[in-house]
């Protein structure tokens, strides 16, 4: 078989990328610019909360991945592949390194593989623990030794990627699927799933189910079947499911009336979310949606790479407001304020992390607004206005913090400018924008 024929097989199989976006793998390969050398980068960063499938492939079936890498590199004419593995996956890393040694000893890797002209080396690179380094261009920056910041697209990696050379970035599971297609054929592969979402899928089931774990099932398996038949239903029979995140924490939530959604790209999109990395997180009625929102934003604030302002600042603002609500200082208009801020992050940030950071919150507010309002009414029945600390003013003449009570300036009435004085900003309470005008 020639390299072009392998590309055609992968195209015909309809494999869709398992890293999140679901882009057709064969189509991506056909975008490669003609320049040489070319590289394959296997994205094994797997930092999306609720996603743990690549880990198991690397730990318990690393040769499936290595076979896929050999065939993918043959197809795209690459002589060097990189596996960028999440730093915390130390066991997976050692397994990969051993498996690569075994493959090399048997002649599957190295120079002139089995007497052909094909050469291939695999480099395993451990990340240092940054969610953003899962984003393909940030991953390339990190691999090159730079800070894990994303790059402008275009040019896309297939045209100008690692070391400015044409590069294919594919998820671990996507490459493992190449092995299955080449072993069993296109027809076999397409025998599972749907026309547009073919093949099997590893669903990562976590949250409030009896049996969390990995379940490899055909695309379009109903969400209810995953949760009840395989997951055993809610962990506490008295607390039914109230929400499910279908594709990793970054994706929008589905509500309890959407449990019959078939888990394929098209059906989940029609339900208002995305299949993403197939990280299914079940949330039961005993959980507080306010707490879930606060913890989620804590993660994105922490992981924002800081390159662009809307994401770097906005995620922190959202977290602070959610902490304030949780601590009993929330007011009803905070719900609209949160929603308003998300609109200045999604679609206005440098990379898709911006959307990832706020989609969950947007869907949470849209579907569970009454729960937020009830929480606020119960914890702050008087709708108390939060007190704001005033920073001390430093006197330019002495460099000491001033205290207006001992200042030579004559005070006219009461001043709030004493050191660390807490004031109520009654005149600012209407600054919350009207969401209708947003």
Ligand X SMILES: Cc1cc2nc3c(=O)[nH]c(=O)nc-3n(C[C@H](O)[C@H](O)[C@H](O)COP(=O)(O)O)c2cc1C
Q: Which stretch binds ligand SF4 (CB under 6 A): 16-24, 71-79, 81-89, 303-311?
A: 303-311
Is residue 350 at the binding interface for ligand SF4, with CB under 6 A as the rule?
yes
Which of 6, 78, 124, 169 lies at the binding interface for ligand X (CB under 6 A)?
169
Is residue 311 at the binding interface for ligand X, with CB under 6 A as the rule?
no
**Smallest distance from ligand SF4 to CB 157, Å:** 16
DSSP string, 230-287: IT-SBSSTTS-EEEEESSSTTSPPEEGGGTT-BSSHHHHHHTTS--TT-EEEEEETTS
Choose the contact partner of 170 out of ligand X, ligand SF4, none; CB within 5 to 8 A by kind.
ligand X
Exposed e or buried b for every residue in 206-220, given b needs 16+ CB within 10 A? bbbbeebebbebbbb
Q: Which stretch binds ligand SF4 (CB under 6 A): 182-190, 276-284, 291-299, 344-352?
A: 344-352
Is residue 151 at the binding interface for ligand X, with CB under 6 A as the rule?
no
- Give the nearer residue to ligand SF4 in terms of CB position, either 226 or 351: 351
Choose the contact partner of 247 out of ligand SF4, ligand X, none; CB within 5 to 8 A by kind.
none
CB 241 within 8 A of CB 282: yes
**Smallest distance from ligand SF4 to CB 343, Å:** 15
Binding mask 111-150 for ligand X (x = CB under 6 A): --------------------xx-xxx--------------
Cis before 221 (ω within 30): no
| 316-355 binders of ligand X (CB under 6 A) | 351-353
Q: Is the dihedral of CA 365, 17, 141, 122 positive or negative?
A: positive
Binding mask 138-157 for ligand SF4 (x = CB under 6 A): ------------x-------
Is residue 219 at the binding interface for ligand X, with CB under 6 A as the rule?
no
- Give the nearer residue to ligand SF4 in terms of CB position, either 307 or 340: 307
State the number of binding residues for ligand X (CB under 6 A). Answer: 25
Element (H, E) at 30: helix 25-30
**Smallest distance from ligand SF4 to CB 306, Å:** 5
Distance separating alpha carbons of residues 374 and 356, to the nearest angstrom: 27
Distance separating alpha carbons of residues 123 and 395, to the nearest angstrom: 58
Distance separating alpha carbons of residues 141 and 217, to the nearest angstrom: 35
Q: What would the two tokens of residue 181 be?
A: 């297609």
Is residue 307 at the binding interface for ligand SF4, with CB under 6 A as the rule?
yes
């Amino acid at each position: 078989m020639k390299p072009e024929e392998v590309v055609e097989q992968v195209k015909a199989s309809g494999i869709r990328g398992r890293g999140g976006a679901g882009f057709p793998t064969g189509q991506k390969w056909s975008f490669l610019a003609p320049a040489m050398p070319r590289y394959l980068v296997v994205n094994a960063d797997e930092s999306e909360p609720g996603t743990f499938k690549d880990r198991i492939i690397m730990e318990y079936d690393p040769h499936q991945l290595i076979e896929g890498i050999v065939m993918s590199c043959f197809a795209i004419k690459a002589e060097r592949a990189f596996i960028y593995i999440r730093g915390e996956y130390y066991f997976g890393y050692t397994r990969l390194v051993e498996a690569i040694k075994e493959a090399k000893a048997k002649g599957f890797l190295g120079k002139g593989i089995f007497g052909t002209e094909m050469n291939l080396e695999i480099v395993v690179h451990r990340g240092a623990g940054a969610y953003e380094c899962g984003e393909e261009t940030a991953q390339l920056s990190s691999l090159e030794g730079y800070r894990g910041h994303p790059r402008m697209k275009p040019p896309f990696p297939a045209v100008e990627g690692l070391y400015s050379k044409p590069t294919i970035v594919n998820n671990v599971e996507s490459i493992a699927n190449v092995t299955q297609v080449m072993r069993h054929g296109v027809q076999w592969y397409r025998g599972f799933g749907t026309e547009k979402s073919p093949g099997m899928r590893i669903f990562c089931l976590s949250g409030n189910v009896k049996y969390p774990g990995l379940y490899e099932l055909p695309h379009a398996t109903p969400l209810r079947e995953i949760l009840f038949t395989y997951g055993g239903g809610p962990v506490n029979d008295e607390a039914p499911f109230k929400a499910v995140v279908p594709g990793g924490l970054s994706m929008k939530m589905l509500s309890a009336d959407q449990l019959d959604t078939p888990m394929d790209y098209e059906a989940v999109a029609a339900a208002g979310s995305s299949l993403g990395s197939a990280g299914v997180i079940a949330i039961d009625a005993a959980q507080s949606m306010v707490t879930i929102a606060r913890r989620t934003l804590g993660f994105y604030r922490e992981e924002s790479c800081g390159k662009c302002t809307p994401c770097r600042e906005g995620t922190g603002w959202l977290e602070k407001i959610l902490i304030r609500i949780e601590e009993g200082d929330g007011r009803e208009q905070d719900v609209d304020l949160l929603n308003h801020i998300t609109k200045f992050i999604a679609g206005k940030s440098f990379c898709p992390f911006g959307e990832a950071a706020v989609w969950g919150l947007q869907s949470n507010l849209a579907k569970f607004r009454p729960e937020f309002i009830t929480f606020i009414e119960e914890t702050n029945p008087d709708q108390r206005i939060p007190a704001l600390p005033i920073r001390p003013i430093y006197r330019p003449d002495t460099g000491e913090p001033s205290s207006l009570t001992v200042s030579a300036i004559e005070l006219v009435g009461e001043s709030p400018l004493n050191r660390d004085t807490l004031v109520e900003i009654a005149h600012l309470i209407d600054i919350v924008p009207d969401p209708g005008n947003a």
